[in-house]
Amino acid sequence: MDRKIIRARLLHFLREPQSPDDTGSFRYIEDGGLLIEDGLIRACDDFGRIDTTGTELIDHRPHLLMPGFIDTHLHFPQTQVIASWAAELLDWLNDYTFPEETRYSDPALCARMAGAFLDRLAEHGTTTAVAYASVHAASAEALFTAAHARNMRLITGKVMMDRNAPEALCDTAQSSYDDSKALIARWHGKGRLSYAITPRFAITSTPAQLDAAQALAVEHPDCYIQTHLSENHAEIALSCQLYPDALDYTDIYARYGLLGPKSLLGHAIHLSDREIGALTDAGAKPVFCPTSNLFLGSGLFDDAKLREAGLCNAIATDIGGGTSYSMLQTLAEGYKVLQLQRQRLHPFRAFHWITRGNAVALGMEGRIGTLDAGTEADFVILDARATPAMAQRMERARDLSDELFTLQVMGDDRAIVQTYIAGEPRKAARQG
Ligand code: GUN
Ligand code: ZN
Protein backbone atom coordinates (compact mmCIF):
# COMPACT_ATOMS: atom_id res chain seq x y z
CA MET A 1 0.00 0.00 0.00
CA ASP A 2 1.36 3.43 -0.97
CA ARG A 3 0.95 5.72 2.04
CA LYS A 4 2.39 9.13 2.88
CA ILE A 5 1.72 12.18 4.98
CA ILE A 6 2.22 15.73 3.74
CA ARG A 7 2.73 18.43 6.36
CA ALA A 8 1.95 22.02 5.29
CA ARG A 9 -0.51 24.85 5.74
CA LEU A 10 -3.74 23.51 4.20
CA LEU A 11 -6.45 25.49 2.43
CA HIS A 12 -9.54 24.34 0.55
CA PHE A 13 -13.00 25.67 -0.15
CA LEU A 14 -16.27 24.22 1.12
CA ARG A 15 -18.55 26.45 -0.97
CA GLU A 16 -18.27 29.57 -3.11
CA PRO A 17 -17.12 32.58 -1.03
CA GLN A 18 -19.76 35.32 -1.06
CA SER A 19 -17.44 38.19 -0.05
CA PRO A 20 -13.84 38.90 0.99
CA ASP A 21 -14.97 38.36 4.61
CA ASP A 22 -16.67 35.03 4.03
CA THR A 23 -14.23 33.01 6.13
CA GLY A 24 -16.81 30.25 6.62
CA SER A 25 -16.46 29.29 2.95
CA PHE A 26 -13.07 27.65 3.40
CA ARG A 27 -11.08 25.49 5.77
CA TYR A 28 -7.57 26.68 6.64
CA ILE A 29 -5.30 24.62 8.87
CA GLU A 30 -2.13 26.40 9.99
CA ASP A 31 -0.20 23.18 10.79
CA GLY A 32 -1.99 20.58 8.74
CA GLY A 33 -1.46 16.99 7.74
CA LEU A 34 -2.78 15.27 4.65
CA LEU A 35 -2.78 11.48 4.77
CA ILE A 36 -2.55 9.98 1.27
CA GLU A 37 -3.17 6.34 0.48
CA ASP A 38 -3.28 4.76 -2.97
CA GLY A 39 -3.90 8.06 -4.73
CA LEU A 40 -6.70 9.18 -2.40
CA ILE A 41 -6.85 11.60 0.52
CA ARG A 42 -7.63 9.56 3.62
CA ALA A 43 -7.49 12.37 6.18
CA CYS A 44 -7.13 16.15 6.20
CA ASP A 45 -6.61 17.49 9.69
CA ASP A 46 -4.36 19.22 12.21
CA PHE A 47 -1.00 17.53 11.90
CA GLY A 48 -1.15 16.53 15.57
CA ARG A 49 -4.30 14.52 14.95
CA ILE A 50 -2.82 12.38 12.14
CA ASP A 51 -1.36 9.02 13.10
CA THR A 52 2.18 9.18 11.67
CA THR A 53 3.54 5.82 12.85
CA GLY A 54 5.42 3.98 10.13
CA THR A 55 4.36 6.39 7.38
CA GLU A 56 6.60 8.43 5.08
CA LEU A 57 6.44 12.12 6.01
CA ILE A 58 7.01 14.92 3.51
CA ASP A 59 7.37 18.32 5.15
CA HIS A 60 6.36 21.24 2.94
CA ARG A 61 6.19 23.83 5.71
CA PRO A 62 5.99 26.85 5.52
CA HIS A 63 4.31 26.53 2.12
CA LEU A 64 0.61 26.47 1.37
CA LEU A 65 -1.08 23.30 0.12
CA MET A 66 -4.26 23.64 -1.97
CA PRO A 67 -6.23 21.37 -4.30
CA GLY A 68 -4.64 21.17 -7.76
CA PHE A 69 -5.76 23.67 -10.37
CA ILE A 70 -8.33 22.71 -12.99
CA ASP A 71 -8.01 24.12 -16.53
CA THR A 72 -11.35 23.75 -18.33
CA HIS A 73 -10.36 24.79 -21.86
CA LEU A 74 -7.07 24.51 -23.75
CA HIS A 75 -5.72 23.05 -26.96
CA PHE A 76 -3.15 20.23 -26.96
CA PRO A 77 -1.87 20.91 -30.53
CA GLN A 78 -1.36 24.64 -29.95
CA THR A 79 1.62 24.70 -27.58
CA GLN A 80 3.84 25.95 -30.41
CA VAL A 81 1.53 28.71 -31.64
CA ILE A 82 1.44 30.58 -28.33
CA ALA A 83 2.65 34.12 -29.07
CA SER A 84 1.73 34.17 -32.79
CA TRP A 85 1.20 37.63 -34.24
CA ALA A 86 -2.34 38.01 -35.64
CA ALA A 87 -4.96 40.72 -35.96
CA GLU A 88 -7.84 38.67 -34.57
CA LEU A 89 -9.32 35.21 -34.10
CA LEU A 90 -10.07 34.12 -37.68
CA ASP A 91 -6.68 35.35 -39.00
CA TRP A 92 -4.93 33.65 -36.11
CA LEU A 93 -6.71 30.37 -36.86
CA ASN A 94 -6.11 30.50 -40.62
CA ASP A 95 -2.55 31.83 -40.59
CA TYR A 96 -1.00 29.92 -37.69
CA THR A 97 -3.24 27.52 -35.86
CA PHE A 98 -4.77 25.40 -38.62
CA PRO A 99 -1.38 24.90 -40.38
CA GLU A 100 0.18 23.97 -37.02
CA GLU A 101 -2.54 21.44 -36.22
CA THR A 102 -1.95 19.61 -39.53
CA ARG A 103 1.38 18.40 -38.02
CA TYR A 104 -0.59 16.24 -35.57
CA SER A 105 -1.36 13.68 -38.28
CA ASP A 106 1.97 12.18 -37.16
CA PRO A 107 1.47 9.78 -34.21
CA ALA A 108 5.15 10.06 -33.21
CA LEU A 109 4.85 13.84 -32.91
CA CYS A 110 1.59 13.40 -30.96
CA ALA A 111 3.24 11.04 -28.47
CA ARG A 112 6.22 13.36 -27.93
CA MET A 113 4.06 16.45 -27.56
CA ALA A 114 1.57 14.72 -25.24
CA GLY A 115 4.32 14.09 -22.68
CA ALA A 116 5.57 17.67 -23.00
CA PHE A 117 2.02 19.04 -22.69
CA LEU A 118 1.33 17.17 -19.46
CA ASP A 119 4.75 18.22 -18.10
CA ARG A 120 3.88 21.88 -18.75
CA LEU A 121 0.54 21.48 -16.96
CA ALA A 122 2.11 19.82 -13.91
CA GLU A 123 4.86 22.42 -13.59
CA HIS A 124 2.17 25.14 -13.59
CA GLY A 125 0.09 23.42 -10.89
CA THR A 126 -2.66 22.08 -13.14
CA THR A 127 -3.81 18.60 -12.18
CA THR A 128 -6.98 18.31 -14.29
CA ALA A 129 -7.37 19.56 -17.85
CA VAL A 130 -10.15 19.70 -20.42
CA ALA A 131 -8.26 19.77 -23.70
CA TYR A 132 -9.07 19.85 -27.40
CA ALA A 133 -6.99 17.38 -29.37
CA SER A 134 -6.54 17.94 -33.13
CA VAL A 135 -8.85 16.51 -35.80
CA HIS A 136 -6.68 13.39 -35.89
CA ALA A 137 -7.81 10.48 -33.73
CA ALA A 138 -4.10 9.76 -33.09
CA SER A 139 -3.76 13.04 -31.21
CA ALA A 140 -6.53 12.18 -28.74
CA GLU A 141 -5.16 8.66 -28.50
CA ALA A 142 -1.69 9.98 -27.59
CA LEU A 143 -3.03 12.39 -24.98
CA PHE A 144 -5.23 9.76 -23.33
CA THR A 145 -2.30 7.32 -23.29
CA ALA A 146 0.07 9.83 -21.68
CA ALA A 147 -2.49 10.95 -19.06
CA HIS A 148 -3.38 7.35 -18.23
CA ALA A 149 0.29 6.52 -17.67
CA ARG A 150 0.44 9.37 -15.10
CA ASN A 151 -2.92 8.54 -13.56
CA MET A 152 -3.99 12.11 -14.35
CA ARG A 153 -7.60 13.22 -14.59
CA LEU A 154 -8.08 14.41 -18.17
CA ILE A 155 -11.00 15.16 -20.43
CA THR A 156 -10.32 15.38 -24.15
CA GLY A 157 -11.74 14.59 -27.54
CA LYS A 158 -10.74 14.67 -31.16
CA VAL A 159 -11.92 17.86 -32.85
CA MET A 160 -14.73 17.42 -35.39
CA MET A 161 -14.25 19.81 -38.35
CA ASP A 162 -15.36 19.17 -41.93
CA ARG A 163 -15.26 22.57 -43.66
CA ASN A 164 -13.64 26.03 -43.78
CA ALA A 165 -10.20 24.68 -42.93
CA PRO A 166 -7.26 23.23 -44.90
CA GLU A 167 -8.16 19.91 -46.49
CA ALA A 168 -5.52 18.13 -44.42
CA LEU A 169 -7.39 19.22 -41.32
CA CYS A 170 -10.89 18.17 -42.39
CA ASP A 171 -12.67 14.97 -41.51
CA THR A 172 -16.20 14.14 -42.69
CA ALA A 173 -19.45 13.90 -40.77
CA GLN A 174 -19.23 10.09 -40.93
CA SER A 175 -15.53 9.73 -40.13
CA SER A 176 -15.80 12.18 -37.23
CA TYR A 177 -18.66 10.12 -35.83
CA ASP A 178 -16.79 6.84 -36.29
CA ASP A 179 -13.49 8.10 -34.86
CA SER A 180 -15.16 9.76 -31.85
CA LYS A 181 -17.24 6.65 -31.19
CA ALA A 182 -14.14 4.43 -31.23
CA LEU A 183 -12.26 6.79 -28.90
CA ILE A 184 -15.22 6.86 -26.49
CA ALA A 185 -15.32 3.07 -26.42
CA ARG A 186 -11.59 2.89 -25.77
CA TRP A 187 -11.10 5.68 -23.26
CA HIS A 188 -14.23 7.17 -21.70
CA GLY A 189 -14.42 6.11 -18.05
CA LYS A 190 -11.06 4.31 -18.18
CA GLY A 191 -9.08 5.21 -15.04
CA ARG A 192 -9.43 8.96 -14.58
CA LEU A 193 -10.25 9.77 -18.20
CA SER A 194 -13.41 11.16 -19.79
CA TYR A 195 -14.35 11.93 -23.36
CA ALA A 196 -15.55 15.29 -24.65
CA ILE A 197 -17.48 15.30 -27.93
CA THR A 198 -15.69 18.18 -29.66
CA PRO A 199 -17.24 19.95 -32.67
CA ARG A 200 -14.69 22.80 -32.99
CA PHE A 201 -17.25 25.54 -33.68
CA ALA A 202 -20.16 26.19 -36.04
CA ILE A 203 -17.93 27.64 -38.77
CA THR A 204 -15.94 24.43 -39.23
CA SER A 205 -18.87 21.98 -39.02
CA THR A 206 -21.50 21.32 -41.67
CA PRO A 207 -25.07 20.68 -40.52
CA ALA A 208 -24.42 16.99 -41.25
CA GLN A 209 -21.50 17.02 -38.84
CA LEU A 210 -23.49 18.74 -36.08
CA ASP A 211 -26.11 15.99 -36.65
CA ALA A 212 -23.31 13.48 -36.03
CA ALA A 213 -22.25 15.31 -32.87
CA GLN A 214 -25.87 15.23 -31.70
CA ALA A 215 -26.06 11.49 -32.33
CA LEU A 216 -22.91 10.98 -30.24
CA ALA A 217 -24.34 13.14 -27.45
CA VAL A 218 -27.61 11.17 -27.42
CA GLU A 219 -25.79 7.84 -27.45
CA HIS A 220 -23.27 8.93 -24.78
CA PRO A 221 -25.04 11.30 -22.40
CA ASP A 222 -22.30 10.91 -19.82
CA CYS A 223 -19.67 12.38 -22.16
CA TYR A 224 -18.85 16.08 -22.05
CA ILE A 225 -19.42 18.34 -25.05
CA GLN A 226 -17.01 21.19 -25.77
CA THR A 227 -17.09 23.89 -28.41
CA HIS A 228 -16.52 27.61 -28.93
CA LEU A 229 -19.26 30.23 -28.72
CA SER A 230 -19.42 33.94 -29.42
CA GLU A 231 -15.75 34.83 -29.13
CA ASN A 232 -15.50 37.50 -31.81
CA HIS A 233 -17.82 39.59 -33.99
CA ALA A 234 -16.56 38.26 -37.35
CA GLU A 235 -16.96 34.69 -36.07
CA ILE A 236 -20.53 35.39 -34.93
CA ALA A 237 -21.48 36.96 -38.29
CA LEU A 238 -20.06 34.04 -40.30
CA SER A 239 -21.69 31.44 -38.03
CA CYS A 240 -25.11 33.06 -38.40
CA GLN A 241 -24.59 33.28 -42.17
CA LEU A 242 -23.80 29.55 -42.32
CA TYR A 243 -26.85 28.65 -40.21
CA PRO A 244 -29.48 31.16 -41.45
CA ASP A 245 -32.41 29.40 -39.75
CA ALA A 246 -30.93 29.76 -36.26
CA LEU A 247 -32.11 32.65 -34.09
CA ASP A 248 -28.52 33.48 -33.13
CA TYR A 249 -25.16 31.74 -32.55
CA THR A 250 -26.30 29.96 -29.36
CA ASP A 251 -29.39 28.68 -31.15
CA ILE A 252 -27.18 26.85 -33.68
CA TYR A 253 -25.89 24.57 -30.94
CA ALA A 254 -29.34 24.36 -29.29
CA ARG A 255 -30.88 23.10 -32.52
CA TYR A 256 -28.43 20.22 -32.57
CA GLY A 257 -28.98 19.25 -28.94
CA LEU A 258 -25.49 20.34 -27.94
CA LEU A 259 -26.42 22.47 -24.93
CA GLY A 260 -26.75 20.80 -21.54
CA PRO A 261 -25.10 20.68 -18.11
CA LYS A 262 -22.06 18.86 -19.55
CA SER A 263 -21.52 21.44 -22.32
CA LEU A 264 -18.45 23.67 -21.93
CA LEU A 265 -18.63 26.76 -24.12
CA GLY A 266 -15.33 28.52 -24.65
CA HIS A 267 -15.39 32.33 -24.52
CA ALA A 268 -19.15 33.18 -24.51
CA ILE A 269 -18.37 36.89 -24.66
CA HIS A 270 -20.88 38.67 -26.93
CA LEU A 271 -24.21 37.12 -25.89
CA SER A 272 -27.69 38.63 -26.14
CA ASP A 273 -30.14 38.35 -23.26
CA ARG A 274 -31.99 35.68 -25.24
CA GLU A 275 -28.83 33.63 -25.59
CA ILE A 276 -28.00 33.99 -21.89
CA GLY A 277 -31.52 32.80 -21.06
CA ALA A 278 -31.14 29.79 -23.37
CA LEU A 279 -27.79 28.85 -21.82
CA THR A 280 -29.25 29.19 -18.32
CA ASP A 281 -32.22 26.99 -19.20
CA ALA A 282 -29.85 24.38 -20.58
CA GLY A 283 -27.45 24.56 -17.59
CA ALA A 284 -24.52 24.91 -20.02
CA LYS A 285 -21.19 26.21 -18.73
CA PRO A 286 -19.55 29.34 -20.21
CA VAL A 287 -15.77 29.29 -19.97
CA PHE A 288 -13.90 32.53 -19.30
CA CYS A 289 -10.52 32.59 -21.10
CA PRO A 290 -8.98 35.92 -20.05
CA THR A 291 -5.44 35.74 -21.45
CA SER A 292 -6.77 34.58 -24.81
CA ASN A 293 -9.57 37.12 -24.95
CA LEU A 294 -7.09 39.91 -24.31
CA PHE A 295 -4.39 38.55 -26.62
CA LEU A 296 -6.75 38.13 -29.59
CA GLY A 297 -8.64 41.31 -28.72
CA SER A 298 -11.87 39.32 -28.58
CA GLY A 299 -13.66 41.22 -25.82
CA LEU A 300 -14.49 41.36 -22.11
CA PHE A 301 -16.27 38.40 -20.52
CA ASP A 302 -19.21 39.67 -18.45
CA ASP A 303 -18.89 37.35 -15.47
CA ALA A 304 -21.33 39.21 -13.22
CA LYS A 305 -24.12 39.31 -15.80
CA LEU A 306 -23.88 35.61 -16.55
CA ARG A 307 -23.73 34.70 -12.88
CA GLU A 308 -26.70 36.88 -12.06
CA ALA A 309 -28.61 35.01 -14.76
CA GLY A 310 -27.86 31.79 -12.87
CA LEU A 311 -24.98 30.44 -14.97
CA CYS A 312 -22.00 28.62 -13.48
CA ASN A 313 -18.92 30.05 -15.23
CA ALA A 314 -15.71 28.09 -15.56
CA ILE A 315 -12.26 29.67 -16.12
CA ALA A 316 -9.41 28.45 -18.33
CA THR A 317 -6.12 29.25 -20.07
CA ASP A 318 -7.13 28.52 -23.71
CA ILE A 319 -3.56 27.69 -24.71
CA GLY A 320 -2.51 28.63 -27.46
CA GLY A 321 -4.82 31.66 -28.01
CA GLY A 322 -4.14 32.03 -24.31
CA THR A 323 -0.64 33.14 -23.42
CA SER A 324 0.14 31.29 -20.18
CA TYR A 325 -0.31 27.75 -18.86
CA SER A 326 -0.58 29.25 -15.38
CA MET A 327 -3.99 29.37 -13.77
CA LEU A 328 -2.46 32.01 -11.45
CA GLN A 329 -1.67 34.23 -14.44
CA THR A 330 -5.14 33.43 -15.78
CA LEU A 331 -6.57 34.79 -12.53
CA ALA A 332 -4.32 37.87 -12.79
CA GLU A 333 -5.63 38.71 -16.25
CA GLY A 334 -9.16 37.71 -15.26
CA TYR A 335 -8.96 40.16 -12.39
CA LYS A 336 -8.06 42.96 -14.82
CA VAL A 337 -10.79 42.03 -17.31
CA LEU A 338 -13.33 42.26 -14.49
CA GLN A 339 -11.80 45.50 -13.16
CA LEU A 340 -12.48 47.12 -16.54
CA GLN A 341 -16.16 46.31 -15.99
CA ARG A 342 -16.25 47.47 -12.36
CA GLN A 343 -16.46 43.85 -11.19
CA ARG A 344 -14.22 42.70 -8.35
CA LEU A 345 -12.57 39.30 -8.14
CA HIS A 346 -11.46 38.88 -4.56
CA PRO A 347 -8.77 36.29 -3.79
CA PHE A 348 -11.02 33.82 -1.98
CA ARG A 349 -13.39 33.65 -4.94
CA ALA A 350 -10.44 33.52 -7.34
CA PHE A 351 -8.84 30.48 -5.66
CA HIS A 352 -12.23 28.86 -5.24
CA TRP A 353 -12.78 29.31 -8.98
CA ILE A 354 -9.63 27.50 -10.19
CA THR A 355 -10.17 24.64 -7.71
CA ARG A 356 -13.66 23.76 -6.45
CA GLY A 357 -15.46 26.20 -8.79
CA ASN A 358 -14.15 24.55 -11.96
CA ALA A 359 -14.82 21.15 -10.36
CA VAL A 360 -18.46 22.19 -9.85
CA ALA A 361 -18.64 23.27 -13.51
CA LEU A 362 -17.48 19.75 -14.45
CA GLY A 363 -19.85 18.08 -11.96
CA MET A 364 -16.78 16.63 -10.22
CA GLU A 365 -16.76 18.51 -6.92
CA GLY A 366 -17.05 15.24 -4.99
CA ARG A 367 -13.75 14.03 -6.45
CA ILE A 368 -11.41 16.95 -7.22
CA GLY A 369 -10.92 20.61 -6.26
CA THR A 370 -11.12 19.73 -2.56
CA LEU A 371 -9.03 18.19 0.23
CA ASP A 372 -11.93 16.28 1.77
CA ALA A 373 -11.17 12.74 2.92
CA GLY A 374 -12.15 10.20 0.28
CA THR A 375 -11.34 12.48 -2.69
CA GLU A 376 -8.53 12.22 -5.23
CA ALA A 377 -5.07 13.28 -4.05
CA ASP A 378 -4.42 16.06 -6.59
CA PHE A 379 -2.87 19.08 -4.91
CA VAL A 380 -0.27 21.83 -5.26
CA ILE A 381 2.31 23.33 -2.93
CA LEU A 382 2.47 27.11 -3.31
CA ASP A 383 5.19 29.59 -2.33
CA ALA A 384 4.08 33.22 -2.27
CA ARG A 385 7.74 34.27 -1.80
CA ALA A 386 8.96 32.44 -4.89
CA THR A 387 10.62 35.46 -6.52
CA PRO A 388 12.47 38.41 -4.98
CA ALA A 389 9.61 40.71 -6.01
CA MET A 390 7.03 38.43 -4.41
CA ALA A 391 9.12 38.05 -1.24
CA GLN A 392 9.41 41.83 -0.99
CA ARG A 393 5.65 42.22 -1.40
CA MET A 394 5.03 39.50 1.16
CA GLU A 395 7.02 41.37 3.84
CA ARG A 396 3.95 43.61 4.09
CA ALA A 397 1.30 40.87 3.85
CA ARG A 398 -1.09 40.98 6.77
CA ASP A 399 -3.12 37.82 6.36
CA LEU A 400 -4.08 34.84 4.20
CA SER A 401 -6.06 37.05 1.85
CA ASP A 402 -2.93 39.16 1.12
CA GLU A 403 -0.90 36.01 0.54
CA LEU A 404 -3.47 34.65 -1.90
CA PHE A 405 -3.75 37.96 -3.72
CA THR A 406 0.06 38.07 -4.12
CA LEU A 407 -0.08 34.60 -5.68
CA GLN A 408 -3.07 35.61 -7.84
CA VAL A 409 -1.45 38.76 -9.23
CA MET A 410 2.30 37.96 -9.23
CA GLY A 411 2.38 34.16 -9.29
CA ASP A 412 3.22 31.75 -12.11
CA ASP A 413 5.05 28.42 -12.39
CA ARG A 414 7.84 29.71 -10.11
CA ALA A 415 5.32 29.79 -7.25
CA ILE A 416 4.52 26.09 -7.72
CA VAL A 417 6.89 24.21 -5.43
CA GLN A 418 5.41 20.82 -6.29
CA THR A 419 2.34 19.34 -7.96
CA TYR A 420 0.95 16.02 -6.75
CA ILE A 421 -1.25 13.99 -9.08
CA ALA A 422 -2.97 10.99 -7.50
CA GLY A 423 -0.53 11.39 -4.62
CA GLU A 424 2.64 11.40 -6.76
CA PRO A 425 4.96 14.41 -7.22
CA ARG A 426 4.94 15.37 -10.90
CA LYS A 427 6.91 18.59 -11.12
CA ALA A 428 10.51 18.07 -12.14
CA ALA A 429 13.18 19.93 -10.18
CA ARG A 430 14.28 23.18 -11.85
CA GLN A 431 17.44 22.77 -14.00
CA GLY A 432 20.40 25.13 -13.70
N1 GUN B 1 -12.53 28.97 -32.21
C2 GUN B 1 -12.42 27.85 -32.97
N3 GUN B 1 -11.24 27.25 -32.78
C4 GUN B 1 -10.58 27.99 -31.88
C5 GUN B 1 -9.29 27.87 -31.28
O6 GUN B 1 -8.52 26.95 -31.54
N7 GUN B 1 -8.96 28.85 -30.38
C8 GUN B 1 -9.80 29.88 -30.07
N9 GUN B 1 -9.40 30.79 -29.19
N10 GUN B 1 -10.99 30.01 -30.62
C11 GUN B 1 -11.38 29.08 -31.52
ZN1 ZN C 1 -10.31 27.27 -27.58
Quick one: pLDDT at residue 1?
72
Q: How far is the CA of 156 from the centre of ligand 1 (A)?
A: 15
**Domains of the chain: residue spans and CATH:** 3-67+369-425 (2.30.40.10), 69-345 (3.20.20.140)
**What is the phi/psi pair of residue 384, to 5°?**
-75, 0
Nearest ligand 1 atom, CA 289: 9
Q: How far is the CA of 56 from the centre of ligand 1 (A)?
A: 45
Spatial neighbors of 168 by CB under 8 A, at least 6 apart, are 102, 105
Nearest Cα residue to atom 9 of ligand 1? 321
Please give all residues whose beta carbon lies within 6 A of any atom in ligand 1, as ranges. Answer: 75, 89, 93, 97, 200-201, 228, 231, 292, 318, 321
Query: Is 9 buried (19+), middle (13-18) or exposed (0-12) by CB count in 10 A?
Result: buried
Q: For residues 171 and 177, what is the distance between their CA atoms, to the nearest angstrom?
A: 10
Quick one: pLDDT at residue 429?
81
Sheet containing 26-37, strands listed edge to edge, beginning at the edge strand earlier in sequence: 40-46, 26-37, 3-13, 56-67, 379-382, 416-421, 424-425
14 within 8 A of 29, measured Cβ to Cβ: no
Nearest ligand 1 atom, CA 97: 6
Residue 157, SS3 per DSSP: strand
Candidates 79, 91, 201, 330: which one to mutate for ligand 1, based on the most atoms within 8 Å of Cβ? Answer: 201
Candidates 92, 231, 319: which one to mutate for ligand 1, based on the most atoms within 8 Å of Cβ? Answer: 231
> Kind of pairing, strands 416-421 and 424-425?
antiparallel
- Using alpha carbons, list the distances in angstroms from residue 80 to 237, 245, 323, 366: 29, 38, 11, 35
ipTM for the whole predicted complex goes beyond 0.90: yes
Nearest to 384 by CA among 346, 335, 328: 328
pTM summary value: 0.98
Quick one: pLDDT at residue 324?
98
Which ligand has the nearest atom to the CA of 72?
Answer: 2
Q: How far is the CA of 333 from the centre of ligand 1 (A)?
A: 19
Nearest ligand 1 atom, CA 201: 2
Q: Would you write out the chain's pLDDT as a tens digit for each of its 432 residues? A: 789 999 999 999 999 999 999 999 999 999 999 999 999 999 999 999 999 999 999 999 999 999 999 999 999 999 999 999 999 999 999 999 999 999 999 999 999 999 999 999 999 999 999 999 999 999 999 999 999 999 999 999 999 999 999 999 999 999 999 999 999 999 999 999 999 999 999 999 999 999 999 999 999 999 999 999 999 999 999 999 999 999 999 999 999 999 999 999 999 999 999 999 999 999 999 999 999 999 999 999 999 999 999 999 999 999 999 999 999 999 999 999 999 999 999 999 999 999 999 999 999 999 999 999 999 999 999 999 999 999 999 999 999 999 999 999 999 999 999 999 999 999 988 765
Nearest Cα residue to atom 8 of ligand 1? 321
- Exposure string (b/e) for 132-157, b if CB count within 10 Å is 16 or more? bbbbbbbbbbbbbbbbeebbbbbbbb
Which ligand has the nearest atom to the CA of 265?
Answer: 2
